[in-house]
Chains A and B, each alone.
Chain A
Amino acid sequence: QVQLQESGPGLVKPSETLSLTCTVSGYPISSGYYWGWIRQPPGKGLEWIGTIYHSGSTYYNPSLQSRATISVDTSKNQFSLKLSSVTAADTAVYYCVRRGAFYYVAYWGQGTLVTVSS
């Protein structure tokens, strides 16, 4: 059973960089699939941030491409998100996910709320 768990600071100051890590259990990232991040502002809808393959190949939502970086550490079975120059608009629950055969989400982490505030 694939399980994903997000970790990282729950509070980030404006203009700083948001950093989150997802630890995967039950499946080696190096075995395949695309892994990624989706966010959901409080009370609002869902937004793909991007994905990464174990080889390092990435996809980013064009709206966030200039600020988002996703990386993978197969030795720790983890992948990470960095989002730079954050503002209050980046306040959201961030989910780490595993993609299905295409860009739908087969597995979700429980989500972690990140608040951007001074």
Chain B
Amino acid sequence: ELVLTQSPGTLSLSPGERVTLSCRASQSVSNNYLAWYQQKPGQAPRLLVYGASTRVIGIPDRFSGSGSGTDFTLTISRLEPEDFAVYYCQQYGSSPYTFGQGTKLEIK
């Protein structure tokens, strides 16, 4: 099973700051089939990026995904108050399709 490790577990930041979230895979993710989701308390996750770098229509362009192989990142160029949430990466290159354990962005 391909394991995804997200780091750090929690980040305390202020609105306006730039942040880069890391997702590292235990083996290469086939075809860079990696997605990122945002989840707010009491809500379902929301798809932000798929294919490592393709942003979903309607997602603000301050969100960008990059990476390949085993190392992937999600960058938020300038944090807005509504961006404070938990972020998950997910690989869908090989079964079972697994998620990382999440990174929580909290307001400093």
A binding-site residues for B, Cβ under 8 Å: 45-48, 59, 61-63, 95, 100, 102-106, 108-111
Nearest B residue to A101 via CB reads B50
Nearest B residue to A108 via CB reads B44
Partner of A48 from the list B47, B97, B100 (CB cut-off 8 Å) is B97
Nearest B residue to A44 via CB reads B101
CA distance A104 to B99 in the complex (A): 10
Other A-B contacts than A61-B97, A104-B92, A105-B35, 11 sampled, CB-CB below 8 A, are: A45-B101, A46-B90, A59-B95, A61-B95, A61-B96, A103-B33, A104-B33, A104-B90, A105-B37, A105-B47, A111-B44
A-B contacts counted at CB < 8 A amount to 49
Using known A-B contacts A45-B100, A46-B90, A104-B50, determine if residue A62 contacts B45 with beta carbons closer than 8 Å: no
- Return chain B residues, CB-CB under 8 Å to A95: 44
Partner of A46 from the list B45, B92, B95 (CB cut-off 8 Å) is B45
Partner of B95 from the list A62, A105, A106 (CB cut-off 8 Å) is A62
Q: Return B23 CB to nearest CB of chain A, in Å.
A: 12
Please name 21 pairs of A and B residues whose Cβ atoms are closer than 8 Å in the assembled complex, sorted by A: A45-B100, A45-B101, A45-B102, A46-B45, A46-B88, A61-B96, A61-B97, A62-B95, A62-B96, A95-B44, A100-B47, A100-B50, A103-B97, A104-B33, A104-B50, A104-B90, A105-B45, A105-B47, A106-B47, A108-B46, A109-B44
